[in-house]
Amino acid sequence: EDQVTQSPEALRLQEGESSSLNCSYTVSGLRGLFWYRQDPGKGPEFLFTLYSAGEEKEKERLKATLTKKESFLHITAPKPEDSATYLCAVISGGYNKLIFGAGTRLAVHP
């Protein structure tokens, strides 16, 4: 069964304290991995798509990487405005639709 697990569930950082969020997946043939950001009371906002192991994407303080078993979202020198829930989702060869993880709630304190 296709599955996506995100860790940790919640993360509290001080401003400037870099860290990483993890998304591990078990799917029958990965066709794409997506990262989204969700602010309270709003819909998810697209950040990155990764298609193959070794691929990396960057946007401001965020960098997403992909291996054959997991993806990391690295946050460098975070600011309070980076506080949000970060969602990971995959499309597998066996199920032609997005499967979401439960998300990581990130809080960055000044």
Partner 1 sequence: NAGVTQTPKFQVLKTGQSMTLQCAQDMNHEYMSWYRQDPGMGLRLIHYSVGAGITDQGEVPNGYNVSRSTTEDFPLRLLSAAPSQTSVYFCASSYSSETEEYFGPGTRLTVT
Q: Which residues bind partner 1 (CB under 8 A)?
A: 4, 31-32, 34, 36, 41-46, 49, 87, 89, 91, 96-98, 100-103
Q: How far, CA to CA in Å, does 101 sit from each of 2, 51, 67, 83, 98?
A: 11, 17, 17, 18, 10
In terms of CB distance, is 33 or 110 closer to partner 1? Answer: 33
Q: In whole angstroms, how close is the CB of 102 to partner 1 at the nearest point?
A: 4
C-beta of residue 56 within 8 angstroms of C-beta of residue 64: yes
The β-bridge relationship of strands 30-38 and 45-50 is antiparallel
In terms of CB distance, is 43 or 54 closer to partner 1? Answer: 43
In terms of CB distance, is 17 or 39 closer to partner 1? Answer: 39
Q: In whole angstroms, how close is the CB of 25 to partner 1 at the nearest point?
A: 13
d(CA 18, CA 74): 8
Q: In whole angstroms, how close is the CB of 37 to partner 1 at the nearest point?
A: 11
Q: In whole angstroms, how close is the CB of 46 to partner 1 at the nearest point?
A: 4
